[in-house]
Chains A and B, each alone.
Chain A
């Protein structure tokens, strides 16, 4: 006879994993985005003093896979700033989607993200977005990357996740690396809490490998970051690198591991340069 705990945990898992399944691309609302852009612009400009360079490297139209590193716990301010920059540069009319953990989209208070084009991360949803001709932003590092300790901020670490490379090869779309810095200074991130996550079984229930620990406003000690936090006004800087046609660069049948190593190495080199420019944490 299954225990009440097991039944509850299974129900919770099913809810978290199935509530947002297949993406409905029509949920993206360009008119809503247009109305939100000015407010986001004020935030990016005055609060984060953001700098975004290299948007001209993104192909002007058609499907493209933007692959980035991201930071800042569950708030990911660099994602917000980059989404703003993309929509402002190309117009809200250009279809643009972003993948996020389905747990994020399961939260009722975050449902508005779908109107920005955020869809649950899955290979099918990613493919659906690209097949529709849209630009798609993915962060392969996911929860593993975004909750890394603050002192590991200037590190690109996708935890050897390579689905994005196979996706680009299958669909034939170019990859555009997007490198950001500053997000990991928006709170004091102490630990990913991987062992804690495994101990409590949340990796099996929620597909989350981490139970992060941080010090953040307004909670003080913040475990899990499930309710988010108020990010500190760290200067954010993003560099968009030139587009990569995988088969043109790596041959007709590229080695996925070699592609991963090469692209992440170039992203790391860019991140190192951005880190070297920073004089002080937060200030930039």
Chain B
């Protein structure tokens, strides 16, 4: 199951990148899960975190690792333990100097038909989680009082 949500933010890529490039700040900036650093490296490729996300009734936990960190463009992680999942931030400049920011979460629950059912039921919650995260980024950027 792959779900992505997009926002266009009236701020340059560099400002938005500042908000999304450090996963340990996601809870504070956008309320997107709980990201506890689990490696000496705390940002960039190779950084690991214990990620906990409330999905419906249950908090899903697992270790993730940042596998892509293309300065000011994309940041991606994938799971090491817990539910198989991969996440990605993608930032692109818009013609008027703003930023199109996309947050994607791809996941797959094991267990055959029950897993498939869980994927579809979870999709409802995951969309809300991603929307909340993006709204948090928008609010954070506007609060940092960026002026173009």
Contact = CB atoms under 8 A, between A and B. Distances in A.
Interface in A47-66: 48-52, 55
A39 B60 contact: no
B120 to A, nearest CB: 9
Interface in A71-125: 81, 84-85, 88-91, 93
A91 B81 contact: yes
Chain B residues touching A, majority SS = mixed
A49 B52 contact: no
Contacts of A51: 57
A39 B117 contact: yes
B118 A84 contact: no
Report the interface size class on chain A.
20 to 34
Given A39-B117, A89-B52, A91-B81, A44 B111 contact: no
Contacts, number: 75
A35 B110 contact: yes
Contact of A37 (B52, B56, B63, B111): B111
A226 interface: no
A38 B111 contact: yes
Chain A residues touching B, majority SS = helix
B61 A89 contact: yes
B110 A84 contact: no
A39 B58 contact: no
B62 A84 contact: no
A55 B59 contact: yes
Interface of A: 34-39, 41-42, 44-46, 48-52, 55, 81, 84-85, 88-91, 93
Interface of B: 52, 55-63, 81-83, 109-112, 114-115, 117-119, 121-122
